[in-house]
Amino acid sequence: MKTRQASNLQLRLLTNVVIVYMLMAFAWWSVLLFTKNRDAFEAKAEVMRISMAAQRLVQNEAEFRQTPPYLELTRKYKRQEWMIMGEAIVFVISLVIGVYMINRGYLREVNAARQRRNFLLSITHELKSPLASIRLVMDTLRKRELTQDQIKQLSRNGLKETERLHALVEDLLLSAKLETAYQPHLEITDLSRLLQDCLQRVQDKNPDRPMIWNGPAEPVEIAVDRTGMTSVVLNLLENAVKYSPEDSPVQLQLQANEKNVQILVADVGIGIPDQEKKQVFEKFYRVGNEDTRQTKGTGLGLYIVEQIVRAHGGLIQIRDNQPQGTIFDLTLPCTTEKIP
Ligand code: ADP
């Protein structure tokens, strides 16, 4: 990996050196062309002046400069100068555009390779650790004489790990489906109920965490894909829990008007740097790198969230919470029909 990165860097350096050389050579040739053009003009003008003076057509330099042949020669000379300049400008612009495209492509490649590497590392970890736990549970159940309570506790742990594996596989399948053939199955749903159910599910998994609900008392009925929207809200809430201190509050808010509904998920956690607020929605993207990261994850959650929100004709944005943390701001159109 490191060697490939090093050779990529060398290649990029070499390309840049060649480009700089080309620019310098081109600048030199342009200057030379200008000088030669001027020399040719001056030589032609001199021949013309001598021949006119010999024929006694002009008396002095000032008179010569007013003659039609000299004026025509000057016009030609100026035109040639403009042509050289035009060519030079077109060449430099094409080169700059070319270099920009090459660099952009290169950076995209590097980014994609980093994401693939991150994904492989995190997925391997996410697959290996629950498998290792389940294996340990089975081993203990097989080898040891255990009390009923111990057996119950162990099976609970095993089940939790199986659920983790199941969720991972579901996320992988869903993200593959979102890329090809996802059509939201829209049903009129009380969004307020759906959100509160999600909040309750996350609360059950994190009983000590303060969870705040802020929404209208009456039902908010719009057409959504229930499974998809549940996955969106659960993902955002679970992230809010995952990326904030253990005892800090997580807030879920719903507001509705005639046109839109707005869902806010706010935490007071580590926050997301401005330059990464867009990238976190890319598939497999995680802030930081796999060696320094503390939390478990695959970088699939927000990709799934954004795809589902888009399929509903909605929009999701990230804002900074004050004094710290993140707010996920989701807007959905208040449609009661199927989106075309
Ligand atoms: P995962 O959580 O599995 O890594 P996600 O796609 O859900 O993947 O999130 C992508 C990245 O965005 C996370 O790795 C994390 O760095 C960042 N992130 C998501 N939600 C939050 C949040 N509430 N606070 C801070 N960072 C977050």
336 pLDDT tier (thresholds 50, 70, 90): low
User: What integer pLDDT is reported at residue 3 of this predicted model?
Assistant: 65
User: What integer pLDDT is reported at residue 241 of this predicted model?
Assistant: 96
State whether the beta carbon of 232 lies less than 6 angstroms from ligand 1. Answer: no
Closest CA to 203 of 158, 232, 233: 233
Write the DSSP string, 151-216: HHHHHHHHHHHHHHHHHHHHHHHHHHHHHH-----EEEEEHHHHHHHHHHHHHHHSTTS-EEEE--
Torsion of CA 191, 196, 201, 205, to 10 degrees: 140
Span 146-164, pLDDT tens digits: 889 999 999 999 998 998 8
State whether the beta carbon of 119 lies less than 6 angstroms from ligand 1. Answer: no
For ligand 1, pick from 235, 241, 244, 302 the residue to mutate: most ligand atoms within 8 Å of CB: 302
Q: In whole angstroms, what is the distance from residue 117 CA to residue 2 CA? A: 12
- Phi, psi for 146 (deg, rounded to 5): -120, 155
219 preceded by a cis bond (ω within 30 of 0): no
| Angle ∠(306,308,314) on CA atoms, nearest 5 | 75
Q: How many residues does the chain have?
A: 340
pLDDT(340) > 50: no
What percent of the chain is predicted at pLDDT more than 90?
A: 57
Q: State mean pLDDT over 242-263.
A: 94
Lowest mean pLDDT: which of 4-18, 185-199, 244-258? 4-18
Q: State mean pLDDT over 212-240.
A: 94
Ligand 1 atom nearest to CA at 286: 14
pTM over 0.75: no
Cβ(243)–Cβ(267) under 8 Å? yes
User: What integer pLDDT is reported at residue 289 of this predicted model?
Assistant: 63
253 pLDDT tier (thresholds 50, 70, 90): very high
- The letter for the amino acid at 179 is E
Using CB atoms within 10 Å of the CB of residue 144, give its burial: 0 to 12 exposed, 13 to 18 middle, 19+ buried: exposed
pLDDT, averaged across the chain: 89
Span 66-77, pLDDT tens digits: 999 999 999 999
User: What integer pLDDT is reported at residue 318 of this predicted model?
Assistant: 97
Lowest mean pLDDT: which of 26-40, 100-114, 203-217, 232-246? 100-114
78 pLDDT tier (thresholds 50, 70, 90): very high
239 pLDDT tier (thresholds 50, 70, 90): very high
State whether the beta carbon of 307 lies less than 6 angstroms from ligand 1. Answer: no
State whether the beta carbon of 302 lies less than 6 angstroms from ligand 1. Answer: yes
